[in-house]
Structure 1
Amino acid sequence: MSEAVAYLPIDTLKPVADDVWIVDSGPLSAMGLEVPVRMTVIRLRSGAIWLHSPTTYSDRLKAEIERLGPITHLVAPNIAHWMYVKDWKQRCPGARTWAVPGLRTRAPVIKSGVVLDEDLASPPPAAWAADVEQFLITGGFGVNEAVFFHRATQTLILTDFVENLEPAKLGPIAGPLARLAGATAPDGMAPAHYRFAMNRRRDDAKAAARRLLAWTPQRVIFAHGSWYETDGTERLRHSLRWLLD
């Protein structure tokens, strides 16, 4: 099942652009579906390595990443993508952990014992402000997401604000369910539950969508499904139709 769902090879670096890589992993259980999941890796100009939405830890993957530079930042970008931060923090004790506001107070997070050092805010911290822009998208019910833009490569990094799952990889039951959620290729967008939460603060979400498009990304990486390797701005605009149409 994992080979059918995940984007092979898994748990290894795949180059995207200068100083940007992805790591495909999974499958991960989400809303009753088995879905692929993805981490993004950036080497900052300082040489520090920034991990967005860390995926399954392995010593082999850690060694592969550390050949690029020291793992310095571990980013939990929304309330769902934090589960593997603890494993990476334990093996990279010098790394700082960053999380969306409110994550540290959630019961499963407290129970897990994960250490979250810093909250993410709309202006990027000094640690990566020279390389990466960021802001927070805040919805209802505590659902929020930090979004990032790597200026040098015009790469937008999202988590669940866009999903683009391929039904053929999900199977005869999960595929139609994902299609009903509105998160399937080639017309992926945020899944239904995420749209519902964001629509509680629709004006803010709409402003955020316009801000994302104003960055005119060449490519858009997100955590689940086939990411946008080319025509990033236009494909993103289509994915945000639920806000902009």
Structure 2
Amino acid sequence: MRQVGDDIWVHEDSMKMLGTKLGLRMTIVRLEGGRLWVHSPTAISPSLQQEINALGSVRYLVAANNHHSRWLQDWIDVYPDAEVYVSAGIPRKVPLSNYHILQRGMENVWQGDLEWQTMPAVPMFNETVFFHLRSSSLIVTDLVQNYPENPNKAGLAGAMTKYVFEPIGFKGCCVAPPLKMGFTIKDKPAFHRFLQSVQEWSFDKIIVTHGDIIEDDAKDVFASLTSRFRRDL
């Protein structure tokens, strides 16, 4: 793990997808009182657990996007007393017994540490994004992605990247490619209002789950990436 701001750390990991390695990032925030908030849990191991426990007590496990629940149950098994917050589609994939759905109108139990907005009218993702006040960090799952260019990637991984992932939009700094397909957003004005609310936060970095953290001109980058959705109205 590495620290990326006041009371916030990230853990880098990866998984295989269609023959190529996909980078993953878990984010850990230390809330007031030493409680830990874990976003988008990656594979857990004894060494990672030891690092986590050295920071504080895991109180919240957060899977804020329908496509990011692969290791959630493993974390629940290790931290059974943690409260679980998930996107609306995850209970259909993971046999959870005690959890909270992240949704508009929900009480902000992390008041003072985190603000949040749930993406409306995009049932494919049902993503919730967060703003960590102390580190001025926007924390996202799939909404924004930032893939470094790697022209030397060889073999099957290189071919899949060049001929499959990049042509459909997984290239450089981008929004989740499915969002560019009009049918995935069921209420464009509501989605626009969601983006405007996020843009109003005073973040100076975007901690993405896929790719490099965006640390330069983060607000301008976000505005540029999401301008297409304003034009579509």
Identify whether the pair has TM-score above 0.5, normalized to the shorter chain.
Answer: yes
Structure 1 residue matching 2:9: 3-state secondary structure? strand
Match of residue 147 from structure 1:
129
Conserved 8 A contact 2:136-2:202 = yes
Structure 2 residue matching 1:240: 3-state secondary structure? helix
Match of residue 171 from structure 2:
184
What TM-score comes out, normalization by structure 1 length?
0.83
Q: Indicate yes or no: 2:12 matched with 1:24.
A: yes
Superposed CA deviations along residues 136-174 of structure 1, whole A, max 9, x for unmatched, are 102344431011001122110011011122341652332
Q: Indicate yes or no: 2:143 matched with 1:161.
A: yes
Cα shift at 1:184: 1.6
Cα shift at 1:206: 1.3
Superposed CA deviations along residues 60-115 of structure 1, whole A, max 9, x for unmatched, are 101101111001100010100111110011011111111112421x2x32xxx344
Quickly say closer, same or farther: Cα 1:164–1:115, change in 2 above 3 A. Answer: farther
Runs of 4+ with deviation above 6 angstroms? none
Aligned length: 225
Cα shift at 1:45: 1.3
Structure 2 residue matching 1:26: 3-state secondary structure? strand
Mapping for residues 1-245 of structure 1, pairs under 5 Å? 13-29=1-17, 34-104=21-91, 106=92, 108-109=93-94, 113-122=95-104, 125-168=107-150, 171-185=158-172, 187-191=173-177, 193-196=178-181, 198-245=184-231
Conserved 8 A contact 2:60-2:83 = yes
Superposed CA deviations along residues 174-229 of structure 1, whole A, max 9, x for unmatched, are 244322222321x32222x2433543322221111111111131000111111202
Structure 1 residue matching 2:127: 3-state secondary structure? strand
What TM-score comes out, normalization by structure 2 length?
0.87
Structure 2 residue matching 1:80: 3-state secondary structure? coil
Q: Which amino acid in the other structure matches residue 120 of structure 1?
A: L
Conserved 8 A contact 1:97-1:115 = no
5+ long unaligned stretches in structure 2: none
Between the aligned partners of 1:63 and 1:100, the Cα distance in structure 2 is 27
Structure 1 residue matching 2:134: 3-state secondary structure? helix
Identity %: 27
Between the aligned partners of 1:179 and 1:242, the Cα distance in structure 2 is 19
Cα shift at 1:20: 0.7
Conserved 8 A contact 1:163-1:190 = yes
5+ long unaligned stretches in structure 1: 1-12
Between the aligned partners of 1:119 and 1:132, the Cα distance in structure 2 is 17
Quickly say closer, same or farther: Cα 1:205–1:183, change in 2 above 3 A. Answer: farther
Quickly say closer, same or farther: Cα 1:117–1:123, change in 2 above 3 A. Answer: same
